[in-house]
Each structure stands twice: as C-alpha cells, then as structure tokens.
Amino acid sequence: MPDQIRLGIIGASPTVGWAHRAHLPATQAATDWELTGACTTRMETAEESARQYGAKIPFDDYHKMLAHPDIDAAAVVLRVPTHYEITKDVINAGKHVFTEWPLGKTTDEARELAALAKEKGVRAIVGLQSRAAPAVMHMKELVEAGYIGDVLSCSLRQIGSGVLTRDSGRTWQRDVELGANTLTIAAGHAIDALRFVAGDFVRVSAQITTQVPQWHEVDTDVMVDVTSPDTILVNATLENGASASVHVSSIPYAGNGLTLEIFGTEGTLKATSAGSTNVGGLRLDGTQGGNNLAEIDIPARHTYVGEVMPKGAPFNVGQLYDQFAKGIRGEENSYPDFDTAVELHVLIDAIRQSSDEGRTVDVPRE
C-alpha cells in the first residue's frame, strides 16, 4: 500500500449532492488519502470535479475507474437504488469500498454485500458518520464508564426540514420502494447514534405515517403521490432493559434539530444540534446527582482529523475516512462496517413491521 491510499469517488458531482457537500472536501483534506479518481456520468463534470478538488484522473465510466491500477479504494456516493450493483462491482474488482447509508434498498441487498466483502477480502465501510462525531463518541464513553449509572430511559427527537415542493429531478425520493426516505435516512442515522451510545434495540412498537401525501413538482406543475414516510414514532426496549422513545419528522417549516437524552440512576447526558448527529456542531451537556445540566468538554482524543478538515458536513465523514484508512492498513480501528449496516437494516425492518401490523415486534438478532 502506498503512503496515501488512492481513492476514486463514484458520484463525484462538483456542484450537488453528498459527495460535493462532504466526501470531496473531506478526502481533499485527509492526510491518509489521495483523491485519485473523480467519476460522474459526464466527462465535463468529472473534469470540473477533478479540477476543483484536485483529483488526478476524471472518469465518466466507473467500470474504467475500477479497472485502473492506480485505484486502491472507491466510494459509492450516489442515489440509494444504485448502491447495490455499483458496490458489488467495486468489491468484485478487489477494491476497498466506502458506501453511503443506506447500504441497499433492502436488507437482503445489504446482507449480500456484507457477505461478498468478506468473501473477497476487501475492507468495507458504511457511511454511518454519527459514530465518528466526537460528541457522540464521548457520550458513549461516558455511558460505558458509568457517568450516569445504570441507563433507565432514552429520548431521541429530531425534527428536520421536509418539503411540500420539489423539482422533478428530486421527486424520486417520494417512492418508498427506492429506499431513501425519512425512515431510512433521517431516522436511520439518528437511531444508529442512539443504539451506538446506549445499546441495541430488542423490542419496538412503532407508528410510521406519511403526513404529506403529495408533493408539488414545480417544473412540471403537477402534484405527485408520495408513499415515503415523513413521520416516525417508536417506543422501544434496549438490550439493557432501558426504555427509549424516538420521534423523527420531516416537516415544512421551523424544524428545531436534534435532542438525544440518556437518563440514568446517577445522572443525565444530553446531546443537541440544530441539525442532526451527522454534520457536526453537537453540544454535549451532563449532570451527576443533580438537576442542573452543564456543558461537557469533548476530549481531543476523539478528533482524528487535522485542523485543515472543514467543519460541518465533511468533518464526520473525514473522521470515518481516517478510521477506514487504519482498517485498510491493518491498524486498530472502530469504523462501522457492512455488518453494522445489516444490523441497522434489520432494526428498520422491525420498525416497519411493527407499524404495518400494529403490534410490538422483537428485533431479530443477526
């Protein structure tokens, strides 16, 4: 392995999308990575991405990028419906792979990709970047160290911006079968942060609804039907016996961000953000044996990236890339792999089943 791991990003748009917001600036600033390939479906945008972010080689065909000898790993940063086929191609090409969450449209796709990565002996990471947020990592560390004693109850509330209108290029997310919606993405990331900190879910009782059943497609001036959910309510039992409540909604106006609280026999921890656990800016407060919360400083040991790493969306993604590099080099690491993704897919399936059947459901163990 060279001094820097040579990465190609599939879906490297220079102007829109998660690669533009997070992956491209993160890898540009990451010390263990060389942004070697930038791949989009059009050479002009690939060339612009390469120029803007310093990638060595533009590609308009990801198969050509995967066949290039100077690519050690690839990131799949595209719409969820494409994750399965492209990630499978990356693995079969013998490249290490970073695939954004959700890993696939379905749990079966995720299971197949996890098994294939093991079979081919490649390292595989999923973009559950809440696990790389310093405040979330420290919150987990404090819980495990007994800062709040035994965990009794957990509360997660994330109210974010939703839509009433979209242009036709973005209304594809209205179809629940395509796997990218408030349940899988906003709730999936937030719930993963909760289970990372306080423990896995073993039983759920859920209500999933679509409160906005149509969107106005502004460029075509038509109303389109929406089957994707926008409001998720879950009551749950964790493996340690604690109770948990989850409310995640995508609403049109005045979303007020995230509040994650862990209550114990000896204290309380509270993480808050104007956005989510994914994009930085988390504040952590706590108290032991009292009712007055005070801000807790986050130790420097939870920050892996250098000062040049941009704040906001690239930061936690950069943290994941740091851990992924360690894993590829055989060093100690703690990144979420494809097995972690499968576990979360299974939990989301149980939440969906509970809502569909109107009953409490046990979460299967993988």
33 and 65 together in one domain? yes
Query: Would you say 333 and 323 are in contact if contact means Cβ atoms under 8 Å apart?
Result: yes
CA torsion sign, 95 to 114 to 177 to 274? Answer: negative
114 and 183 together in one domain? no
Which one of 64, 95, 129 terminates a domain?
129
Could you count the other beta carbons within 10 Å of the beta carbon of residue 361?
18
Mean pLDDT, the chain, integer: 96
pLDDT at 1: 60
- Is pLDDT of 2 > 70? no
Q: List the structure tokens of 203.
A: 């039983």
Query: Would you say 7 and 72 are in contact if contact means Cβ atoms under 8 Å apart?
Result: yes
Per-residue confidence band for 228, with pLDDT thresholds at 50, 70 and 90:
very high
Give me the CATH number covering residue 250: 3.30.360.10
Q: Which residues form the domain of 111?
A: 5-129
Cα dist. 191→21, 184, 200 in Å?
Answer: 23, 10, 10
- Is pLDDT of 202 > 90? yes
Cα atoms in the Cβ-side hemisphere of radius 13 Å centred on 8: 29
Nearest C-alpha neighbor of 75 from the set 138, 29, 10, 130: 10
- Is pLDDT of 280 > 80? no
Within the chain, what is the greatest distance between any pair of CA atoms? 61
Residue matched to tokens 């936690």: 316
Which one of 76, 100, 129 terminates a domain?
129
pLDDT of 39-92, one tens digit each? 999 999 999 999 999 999 999 999 999 999 999 999 999 999 999 999 999 999
Query: Would you say 105 and 177 are in contact if contact means Cβ atoms under 8 Å apart?
Result: yes
pLDDT of 181-197, one tens digit each? 999 999 999 999 999 99
- Pairing of the two strands 57-59 and 33-39: parallel
205 and 241 together in one domain? yes
Query: Would you say 21 and 306 are in contact if contact means Cβ atoms under 8 Å apart?
Result: no
pLDDT > 90 in the chain, percent: 94
250 and 174 together in one domain? yes
Write the Ramachandran bin of 204: left for phi over 0, alpha for psi from -120 to 50, otherwise beta.
beta
DSSP one-letter string for 283-350: EEEEEESSS--EE-PPPGGG--S-TTSPSSHHHHHHHHHHHHHHHHTT------BHHHHHHHHHHHHH
* pTM for the whole structure: 0.96
Per-residue confidence band for 278, with pLDDT thresholds at 50, 70 and 90:
confident
**Total tally of structural domains belonging to the chain:** 2
Which one of 102, 129, 156 terminates a domain?
129
